[in-house]
Every structure is written in C-alpha cells, then in structure tokens.
Amino acid sequence: MNGKAFFPCARHAGFTLVEFLVALVIGSVVVLAAVASMLGTRTAAIAGDDVHVLNQSSALAFRMLGQQIRQAGYTPLDATQPLYYFNVNADKDTLHKNEPAFFAIKGEESKSGSGNDTLKVGYAPSPDYFKDCLGQRAKSAAGVTYDAAHPADPENVRLITSEFAVENGTLRCRGSGNAAPQPLIDGVERFDVMYGVSAGAGTEAVVRYVTAAGVENFNRVRTVRVCLQLAGNSSSNPGGDYTDCDGAAKTTRDGKLRRVYTAVFALRNNLEAP
C-alpha cells in the first residue's frame, strides 16, 4: 500500500432517448386531456348560460303577455246606472285616436305562414289597473292622460291597448301610452299565436284552435295559445334536435341553441257579443 486512498469513479446518471420520448408522450397526453376537459367544460358552460337566458326571456315574455291577455275585454260597471260607462256598443267612443271602437283581442297572421304573428289586446282602465304593456298610462286622442282618481271622467281614455309583434328578432310591444314599439326580449325566431274559440256567445268551452285568419268573430275567443321559438347568442353549441311551433322536427345546424316554449292564457273578461 502506498498510503493513497482509492475512490471509485462516480457514474453519471441521465435519461436515455427512449425514456425521454416516453415522458414526452405521457406529458402530451396529460396536456391534451386537460385541454379537452377545459373545452368540454367551456362548451357546457356556454350552453348552460344560453339555456338560462332563454328560460329567463321566455318567462319574462309570458309574464307580460299573460298579464295583458287576462285583462283583455275588461269593462267596469257604471256605479250610477246599470250600464257600462265604457260602452262597448259605441254611443261613447274610446277617445283613442287609432282605436275608436272598444275591443278585447285582435290578431294578424304572418303573411309567410311560418313567420311572426301580431297580437293586440284592449281593455278599459280601472283605478287599480290603468297601464299598458310598458307601464305607461293611456292617452286620449287629445293627449289627455288617464286619471285613475276619476275613472268615469268623460275626458278619460276608455281603452288601453298593447300590441305585440316581432321586429328584427326582437319581441316588441307598442302600448297606447307610446308612439313607437319598445323591446321586450331578443332572440325571437318565431312568435306564433293560436286562438281558442267557443261555439257561440255565452259559451265558455273552447271547441277548436285556429289562426287569426281562421277566427270568424274575435268576441268568441276564449283562450290564446302563444308559441315562442328562441335562439341563443352563442354559435359554439353542438347541433341538437327540437320541435318547432308547427310540431315539425328540426335540427340546429348553425351552432345556436334553440328552445320552443308554449303557454295558454284564458281571457277572464269575455265580451259575450254575438
């Protein structure tokens, strides 16, 4: 022994090319899985947001439509004599420039047959209910605003109107208190109205549903069925099937989520005219 210490040579460790490639493949798979999961979550979130918006829009539209339709045809009694002071038989006009005659409900069918209809309701104001679909007081032809404190005042307008129609994908309402229609909800692809009619005056039972063109006498309308087809804003939703307002099966092909909502409203105030 010469007194010198002996140390074995240190062996340098590292990855082989095969190990490096395996690690790269595993890492890529993990990243791709994370990206796919993120995209799936994002798509589900977008779809969920669209569903929420469509549900909220339909609820808002039906609340407004129902409020007006249920009031349609209302005529308060004159406390001083056994007649309506908002006389539906026209010895007193309505003081409404565009609607001189009293009515409960009117409709106009879409000219295309599968487009958007127009619905218009009318009713006399009362001290408790005297505003149109936009929350505005009715005005007479002379511009006099309805005075709820004196409902029988001859200067008061005797008819409140609310007209619902679709313009550029937006359901709008024009009330008797404003000149131009105002937006209610967006994304409307179809506004379809059907009318449940009775067999005759004094009969409440609905015998059939018809379009506006098929209504012979709007005084015999007892219920109104409204169908709304709404489309979401996003174009990132997967294609899906739905049934349109005509009962036909359709498939979404543009990436937009679509929902169809239907509600039936009964008229509580029937004119009972022949």
Give the closest residue to 169 by CA, choosing from 227, 240, 231, 114: 231
Tokens 């006099």, located at residue: 144
* CA-based end-to-end distance of the chain: 132
Domain ranges of the chain: 33-266
In this predicted model, what pLDDT tens digit does every residue of 12-25 receive, in sequence order? 566 677 777 777 77
Specify the higher pLDDT residue, 139 or 215: 215
Give the pLDDT score at 254.
83
Confidence band of 91 (pLDDT split at 50, 70, 90): low
In the 3-class helix/strand/coil scheme, how is 130-142 assigned residue by residue? Answer: CECCCCCECECCC
Average pLDDT over residues 132-161: 84
In this predicted model, what pLDDT tens digit does every residue of 48-74 receive, in sequence order? 677 788 999 999 999 999 999 999 988
In this predicted model, what pLDDT tens digit does every residue of 183-212 receive, in sequence order? 999 999 999 999 999 887 777 889 999 999
CA distance 237 to 255: 5
| The two structure tokens encoding residue 61 | 């539209």
- Find the Cα–Cα–Cα–Cα dihedral 129, 60, 192, 102, rounded to 10°: 10
C-alpha distances (whole Å) from 199 to each of 19, 211, 252, 266, 268 are 85, 16, 40, 16, 17
Confidence band of 4 (pLDDT split at 50, 70, 90): low
Q: Where are the alpha helices (DSSP H) in the chain?
A: 17-71
Give the pLDDT score at 190.
95
Give the pLDDT score at 64.
94
